[in-house]
Amino acid sequence: MTTLKKLTHKQWFAVLVLVIGIIIIWYIAALVMNGNQMINMLERTGQSWTYTQIFEGAYGIQRPPLPVPHQVAYELYDSIFNNAITSKRSLLYHTQITLNSTLLGFILGSLLGIIIAIGIVHNRTLDTSLMPWVIASQTVPILAIAPIVVVVLGSMNLTGILPKAIISMYLSFFPVVIGMVKGLRSADKLHTELMITYNASTQQMFWKLRWFSAQPYLFASLKIGIAAALVGAIVAELPTGAQGGLGARLLSGSYYGQTVQIWSALVMSALLGWVLITLVGLAERFILLRRGIS
């Protein structure tokens, strides 16, 4: 009893229970959806069927409406370990293409966001004139913007990683602006007054106080920003007929009804997102702890 109680209080236990629950629901849903499709197919061709037949077949059919976890896991394993990393059949090859434009877009977006935020907190005109545009930029559907960016940059002979990175940047600069504006304005009142008594210049105020006060906010924004950059990179690969990348993999999967391929690309992009956010989180802990901020 007590051991069970102790167990239920452990975080990993809760996570495990949740994962098992999701997998069970997944297999049941797959049985229903894939089973129905099988029945339709068999009835159309006038064949008779039994429930055992359906039960056995539901988890093995080609292009199932809902692939089950072990199918996706096998596809992931197969494409990663049975293909060279340079092969177009390797999911790692596509992941690395998406990762490159994600990182470039994230770096550009973060820099742009920080610069815009610095402008906004130091200049009233920029605050009132720029902020509405920053917000408006995010209300435009990225799917509508992406082809335009690609076409316009393409006409300027800019192709490859840059158009995709710019779309990533477009999504990732926004949380950085919002977080940094808040962060740069979050400097402790007492610290600010102390700096006033020292007759500190605006630059000293920024580099010695505001920049540090903003860092917890910056890292929170960077975590959202890197996830947004990944979404941007994938979305940018969709309408452009890109040959490589997780987005291209998703698109070609849906063209040919390769649901297992779609799901494995999906799982891979989720994993990539998790790794990227974790890395930002580690950098946050390392830097803020060392500086005694958190």
Partner 1 sequence: MQAVETLTEITREPRSHRQMIAIDKLSLVFETNDGPVHALSDIDLTIHEGDFVSFIGPSGCGKTTLLRVIADLEQPTGGEIQVGGTSPEDARLNRLYGYVFQAPALFPWRSIASNCALPMEISAQPKTHRNAQIDKYLGMVGLQDFKHKFPWQLSGGMQQRASIARALCLEPELLLMDEPFGALDEITRDHLNMELLKIWKATGKTVVFVTHSIPEAVLLSTHIVVMSPRPGRIVKVIKSPLPRDKTLALRDTQAFTALAAEIRQALATDHQID
Binding residues vs partner 1 (CB under 8 A) = 188, 190-191, 193-201, 204, 208-209, 212, 291-293
75, burial (CB in 10 Å: exposed 0-12, middle 13-18, buried 19+): buried
- 185 vs 191 by CB, closer to partner 1: 191
Which lies closer to partner 1 via its Cβ, residue 213 or residue 269? 213
Return d(Cα 288, Cα 219) in angstroms, integer.
Answer: 9
Instruction: Provide DSSP, 139-183.
Output: TS-HHHHHHHHHHHHHHTT--THHHHHHHHHHHHHHHHHHHHHHH
Structure tokens at 7: 């167990």
Question: What are the counts of helices (DSSP H) followed by strands (DSSP E) for the chain?
Answer: 14, 0
CA dihedral 100, 106, 108, 110 (to 10 degrees): -160
Q: Which two tokens stand for residue 29?
A: 């849903």
> Least distance in Å: CB of 291 to partner 1?
4
Least Å distance between CB 219 and partner 1?
Answer: 14
The residue assigned the tokens 């990993």 is 12
When the beta carbons of 10 and 291 are compared against partner 1, the nearer one is 291
Are the beta carbons of 38 and 60 closer than 8 angstroms?
Answer: no
Closest distance to partner 1 from the beta carbon of 117 (Å): 19
Cβ-based nearer residue to partner 1, 205 or 268: 205
Nearest approach, Cβ of residue 284 and partner 1 (Å): 14
Q: Residue 50 or residue 203: which is nearer to partner 1 going by CB?
A: 203
Cβ at position 28, least distance to partner 1 in Å: 52
CB-CB contact of 105 with 165 (8 Å): yes
Owner of token pair 């006060």: 213
- Min separation Cβ 190 and partner 1, Å: 4
Query: Given the complex with partner 1, which of 63 and 191 has the nearer CB atom?
Result: 191
Minimum distance between the CB of residue 192 and partner 1, rounded to whole angstroms? 10
**Which tokens is 203 given?**
């630059």
Could you tell me the two tokens for 4? 């069970």
Least distance from C-beta 288 to partner 1, angstroms? 9
| Cβ distance to partner 1 smaller for residue 20 or 196 | 196
| Residue 238: alpha-carbon gap to chain centroid | 15
Token pair recorded at residue 125: 């005109």
Tell me whether residue 138 or residue 192 sits nearer to partner 1 (CB atom): 192
